[in-house]
């Protein structure tokens, strides 16, 4: 993909160079030979100006395409710093509101979702992987394709002061209280 971006930038540079050169000289160098009487067929100053404008517009289009390719390549992979920032933002987002306890006691899917949201535009969310480090711990190893090294997110939970989620019973009269938890998340370099 980098070769494609370089190609677009080189073509843009060529169009700029052709636009800067005197258009009349270009005519006499490359096009005049086709005519029996080249002086009579020489384009007007307005035509030369139009040609120069078209070359500059084409250069702009090629430069834009090159930047688009560079941006697509960047969005297709994570850097170590981008992953670190996304994981730290995800940890902050987890602390903002209470969460229900996961049925399996595992926050891996929630963390993966938060990292993907926090890193939107930095890298593909499908390349992030979050794994629980132990059955009884709330330590999670976060990694991404193409990034050397991993990060460790440690989560501690306490029952929320905001109360619990009240779920009505099937009979219409009873209710069930499902506790919500405030999460505290920290991020460290390396595995858990």
Distance (Å, rounded) from C-alpha 42 to C-alpha 50?
Answer: 14
The confidence score (pLDDT) of residue 150 equals 85
- Residue 80: pLDDT band with limits 50, 70, 90: confident
Which among 135, 139, 144, 150 is positioned nearest to 184, based on CA atoms? 139
H helix intervals, 21-159 = 23-26, 38-41, 45-75, 80-96, 108-118
Provide the mean pLDDT of the chain: 83
Higher-confidence position of 40 and 125: 40
- Residue 136: pLDDT band with limits 50, 70, 90: low
Q: For 139-188, what is each residue's pLDDT tens digit? A: 888 888 878 888 888 888 777 777 666 777 777 777 777 777 788 888 88
- Residue 102: pLDDT band with limits 50, 70, 90: low
Q: For 39-79, what is each residue's pLDDT tens digit? A: 888 888 898 899 999 999 999 999 999 998 887 776 667 77
The confidence score (pLDDT) of residue 117 equals 81
Q: For 8-45, what is each residue's pLDDT tens digit? A: 999 999 999 999 999 888 888 888 888 888 888 888 88
Q: Evaluate if residue 103 carries a pLDDT over 60.
A: no
The confidence score (pLDDT) of residue 56 equals 96
Distance (Å, rounded) from C-alpha 151 to C-alpha 84?
Answer: 7
Buried b (16+ CB within 10 A) or exposed e, 13-38: eebbebbeeebeebbeeeeeeeeeee
Which among 154, 151, 132 is positioned nearest to 82, based on CA atoms? 151
Distance (Å, rounded) from C-alpha 162 to C-alpha 95?
Answer: 14
Q: Evaluate if residue 104 carries a pLDDT over 60.
A: no
The confidence score (pLDDT) of residue 59 equals 96
Distance (Å, rounded) from C-alpha 166 to C-alpha 157?
Answer: 20
């Amino acid at each position: 993909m980098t070769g494609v971006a370089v190609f677009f930038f080189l073509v843009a540079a060529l169009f700029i160079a052709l636009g800067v050169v005197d258009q009349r000289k270009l005519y006499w160098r490359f096009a005049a030979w086709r005519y029996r009487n080249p002086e009579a067929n020489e384009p007007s100053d307005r035509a030369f100006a139009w040609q120069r404008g078209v070359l500059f517009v084409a250069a702009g289009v090629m430069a834009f395409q090159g930047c688009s390719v560079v941006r697509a390549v960047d969005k297709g992979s994570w850097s170590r710093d981008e992953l670190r920032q996304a994981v730290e933002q995800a940890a902050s987002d987890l602390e903002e509101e209470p969460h229900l306890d996961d049925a399996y006691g595992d926050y891996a899917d929630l963390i993966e979702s938060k990292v993907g949201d926090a890193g939107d535009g930095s890298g593909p969310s499908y390349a992030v992987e979050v794994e629980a480090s132990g059955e009884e711990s709330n330590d999670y190893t976060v990694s991404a394709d193409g990034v050397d090294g991993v990060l460790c997110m440690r989560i501690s939970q306490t029952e929320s002061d905001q109360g619990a989620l009240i779920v009505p019973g099937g009979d219409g009269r009873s209710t069930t209280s499902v506790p919500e938890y405030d999460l505290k998340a920290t991020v460290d370099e390396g595995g858990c």
